[in-house]
Structure 1
Amino acid sequence: MITCSKVGIVKPKLLCAIAAHIPIEPTTFKEAFQSSAWREAMAVGFQALTSQTTWKLVPPPTHSKVIGCKWVYRIKLLADGSVEHYKACLVAKGFHQTVGFDFSDTFSPVIKPTTIRLVLSLAISHDWSANWMFKTLFYMVIYLRLFT
C-alpha cells in the first residue's frame, strides 16, 4: 500500500507554527515555581479551593493510604493566539486508589441538559421567582445549545 508519508508528501502542522510564540506549559512544580506568572496562578487556584471549602485537613486514616496531589498547568489563549491567562489546578492522584479498599463509591456532580430544562419548566409552571440559580441555569442552557 502506498501512503502519502512513504512517498514523501507531508502537510506542515499549523499548530507547530503557532506554538513557537506560546510559552511552554511546565510539567513539574519545580519548573512552574521558577515563573512568577505560574506562582500567581497557583495562588489563585489554591485560594479558589480554600474559599469554596472543597476540602479540610484531617488526620490520615490508619486503614487506607493517603492519596497525593499534583498541580496541572494550562495556558489559556485568546482567539488570536496570545496568552489570556495562566491556569493552575491542584488535582488528586486518584489513580493510586483501590476499589473497595480506599473507597466504596464515587460521587461526580454532573448535570444534563434535560435536567436543566425540567427545572426551568417547573419554575415557570409554578411561578417561582428567578433568582441567581435560574439565571445561571439559563446561561448554561444557552451555552449548551450554542456550543454542543
Structure 2
Amino acid sequence: PTTYQQAMQSNESSQWVNAMDAELKAHSDNGSWTLVRRTASTRPSGCRWVFAKKRDECGRVVRYKARLVAKGLKQKFGVDFFETYSPVANMNSIRVVLSVVVALEYVTEQLDADTAFLNSDLKERVYMEVLYGINNTKNMVYRLDKAIYGLKQVASA
C-alpha cells in the first residue's frame, strides 16, 4: 500500500496495524517527540506512513514494516536545519577491510540496527503534524526531540 487508507482497506490490515504499532512503540521508547500546543509561529511538517514487506530468500513475507516519515520537503535551510550530512563508508576503505579479513581468515558478520537513525537528538526546534486518527489533539503538534525519517538532518543529527 502507498497510503494509510489503502493499508487499512487491504486484506492485510491487521498486519499493517501491528507494524504501525511497533513503529509507534519504537518512537515512544526512544522519546522521539513531545505533544505540545500549536502556537502562531509553529510551522509543522506533515507526516505519512511508508509500508514495506520484508521477504526471505524464497520470496515469502517474513515481516510487515511500517515507517513513520516526516515530510521534510517543507523544511527551510537556516530555520529548520543548518546542515545535512549522511555518513557513508568509502568503497576503497571497505575493500581494504575485506582484504585484511580474507588475508587473516577472519569470519565476517553483518548486522542491522533497527531504528538506528532514531537515536540522534535534534539541535533545531522542529515540529510535525499529529498523526491522522489520534484523538483529542486539536491545536496540538509534535515537537520532535529526536531525528526521524524524512527530516533533512536525519543522518547528521
TM-score category of the 2 structures, normalised to the smaller one: 0.5 to 0.7
Partner of 1:31 in structure 2?
Answer: 6
Partner of 1:18 in structure 2?
Answer: none
RMSD: 2.7
Matched length: 92
Offset at 1:100?
2.7
* Aligned sequence identity (%): 35
Partner of 2:67 in structure 1?
Answer: 89
Change (3 A) 1:46 1:92: same
Partner of 1:48 in structure 2?
Answer: 26
Q: Distance in 1 between matches of 2:32 and 2:58?
A: 35
Q: Distance in 1 between matches of 2:76 and 2:89?
A: 29
Q: Following superposition of structure 1 onto structure 2, how do residues 46-125 of structure 1 map, counting pairs within 5 Å? A: 46-101=24-79, 103-106=80-83, 110=87
Structure 1 residue ranges without an equivalent (≥5): 1-25, 115-140
Higher helix share: 1
Greater relative contact order (Cα 8 A, min sep 6): structure 1 or 2? 2
Change (3 A) 1:36 1:105: same
AA matched with 2:43: K
- The answer to whether structure 1 residue 143 and structure 2 residue 118 are counterparts is no
Q: Which has the larger radius of gyration?
A: 1
Q: What TM-score results when the alignment is normalised by the length of structure 1?
A: 0.53
* Superimposed CA distance per residue, residues 101-129 of structure 1 (whole angstroms, 9 cap, x where no aligned partner): 4x142466747588xxxxxxxxxxxxxxx
SS at 1:85 equivalent: strand
SS at 1:100 equivalent: coil
Higher strand share: 2
Offset at 1:69?
0.6
* Superimposed CA distance per residue, residues 71-108 of structure 1 (whole angstroms, 9 cap, x where no aligned partner): 0001000000000110000010001122234x142466
Q: What TM-score results when the alignment is normalised by the length of structure 2?
A: 0.50
Q: Distance in 2 between matches of 1:50 and 1:107?
A: 25
Q: Detail structure 1 runs of 4+ shifted over 3 Å in the superposition.
A: 106-114
Change (3 A) 1:29 1:66: same
Offset at 1:66?
1.0
Kept in 1: contact 2:75–2:81 (CA 8 A): no
Offset at 1:28?
0.8
Q: Distance in 1 between matches of 2:4 and 2:36?
A: 24
